[in-house]
A and B are shown apart, each in its own frame.
Chain A
C-alpha cells in the first residue's frame, strides 16, 4: 500500500536519525513558521572544520521530519564548506523523491543547515553567511496560490 511518500521517507519519518539537542552545539539554526506548519531547529558540533555531530528538532509533517533526518545524515562528517553544498534537491533525492507539494520541506532542510552553519561562523569568525531572509515563504509562492 503506497501512500504519498516513498518507503525511504516513511522509514526516516518513522525512525528519524539524530533527533534531539546538542548541549554543547557550536551552531544552532532555526527556520520556518508554525502558521505554515513547519519549524526546523538544527544543532551542529564542529571540530577542525568538520561537522562531527548534529541533531535536530522539527515541528511538521512527515516530509518535514524525514528531510530533517536526511539532512543531518548528509552533513555529518562533512566539512563546513561541503555541508553548505548540500542542496534541497540532494536531500529530496536521497529520500527517493518527495511529492511536489512537499518539496518546500527539503528547501527548509537546506535552510536549516545554512542557518546552523551561519550561527557557527558568526560565533567563531564574527562573520556569517549573509543569508537572505528565509526563502521558505518564497518557495511556496512559486507553487500557485499557496499562502505559506
Chain B
C-alpha cells in the first residue's frame, strides 16, 4: 500500500544528507565540547559549525544562538528566562490566543507566580492585530510572545509590524518561529525580534534539537542550572549529534528553500482544489494566502476528525486533527476556537502538512481516497442526515 506522510507539522522526515552527517559523527564518536584536549576541541568544532549554520538560517550572530533539547525547551527558556531576568522591571507579559502550549503553559505557571498575562485575540483567519498588541502594553510590560506562524492552521503573523509597535514602547518581542523557521525566509534583523525559538524537526532535521535566538543585549536566566555551556544560558553537555543534524538541516533549508516552497505551494494548492471540488461542506481554516507553503488546514462538516484520520491511516495516509476526540484532553483545538470556528465544525478538523518528500502522486492518491471516506462517515452521521433531508426538501 502507498504510504503518504502528511504530518510534517508534527515532525518532518530526516533529510538524507542530515542522516549521513549524523551517522558519520556517531561512528566517529564525539567527546565533550567543553574539554580542552584534542577530542574536546574536535567536538567544539562540530558544535560551533552547527551554531554558525543555524545562525545563518535566520541572519543571527553565532553567539546569539542557544541550543536546547527541543522547540518546547526554547520557548520555556525564552518565556521563563526573560520573566526571571526582567521581573524587577515589570511583571506583565503579552501573548496571543493561538500560541502553542509550550508558550501558553509556561505563562500559566508565571501567572501563578504573580505575573499577569494579556492574551490578544485573533481574527477569523488567525491573524494577530499589531494594534491590539500595542493597546495591550502597560508600563509593567516586559515582553510579548507571539508566534511567527501557526503550525495548526498555517497562518503567518505580521511579526515585523508587531515588533515595530513594541519597539516604540521598548518592549521585547519573542517570536515562536518553530513552525516557520526553515520553511519560509526568516531574518531576525528584518523582523526586529529580541528572541526567537526554532526546532530542527520542523525543517528535516532530527527531533531532540532546538535553539533559542537571544539578541545581544537581551537577557534570559537559565532554566537548567549547572555548567557554563551555551554562554551560561543553558547548562548540560550539548547533544552534539542532534545539534550537528540541526546545523546541517538549517544549511540545507536555507539553500533549498525557494525550490522547496514553490513545490510545496503548488502541491498544497492542488490538494486543496481537488478536495474542495470533490467534497462539499469543507471549510478552509487559516489565512488564505499568508500561510506556510506546505500547510492545508480544513474542517469537514458532519464528520469527526479522528474518524477520518483513522480511515486515512488505514489507507496509508498520515494526517493530524484538532478535534476534541483526537486530543487527550478532549478539547477542540484552542486555535480553531479562538478563530471563531463553530465548536461542532471544529470536530471535523484535519491538517495536511506536506514536506520536501511529498509528490504529485501522493496528492493524487489522497484526493482519491479521501472523498469516499468522508462520504461513508457522513452516511453514518445523524447530522448529515438532517442536512441531506433539508437539501432534498
- Chain A residues with a Cβ under 8 A of chain B: 3, 10, 13-14, 16, 19, 21, 30, 34-41, 57-65, 101-102, 104, 140, 143, 145-148
Contact = CB atoms under 8 A, between A and B. Distances in A.
A78 B82 CA distance: 65
11 contacts: A34-B343, A34-B344, A37-B304, A38-B304, A38-B325, A41-B382, A63-B325, A64-B325, A65-B307, A101-B330, A147-B331
A146 B331 contact: yes
Contacts, number: 84
A14 B332 CA distance: 24
Nearest to A13: B310
Nearest to B346: A35
B344 A61 contact: no
B304 A140 contact: no
Interface range, B side: 20 to 34
B213 interface: no
Contacts of B304: 37-38, 59-61, 64
Contacts of B344: 34-35
Most B CB within 10 A of own CB, among A16, A40, A62: A62
Given A37-B325, A148-B324, A62 B330 contact: no
Interface in B295-314: 302-304, 306-307, 310-311, 313-314
Contact of A36 (B311, B324, B326, B382): B324
A60 B307 contact: yes
Contacts of A38: 304, 325
Contact of A140 (B303, B306, B313, B330): B330
Contacts of A62: 306-307, 310
Contacts of B347: 34-35, 37, 59
B380 A19 contact: yes
Interface of B: 302-304, 306-307, 310-311, 313-314, 323-326, 328-332, 343-344, 347, 379-385
Query: What 7 pairs between A and B have smallest CB-CB spacing?
Result: A61-B325, A34-B344, A35-B343, A61-B306, A41-B382, A59-B381, A57-B382
B283 to A, nearest CB: 14
A59 B310 CA distance: 14
Contacts of B382: 30, 39-41, 57-59
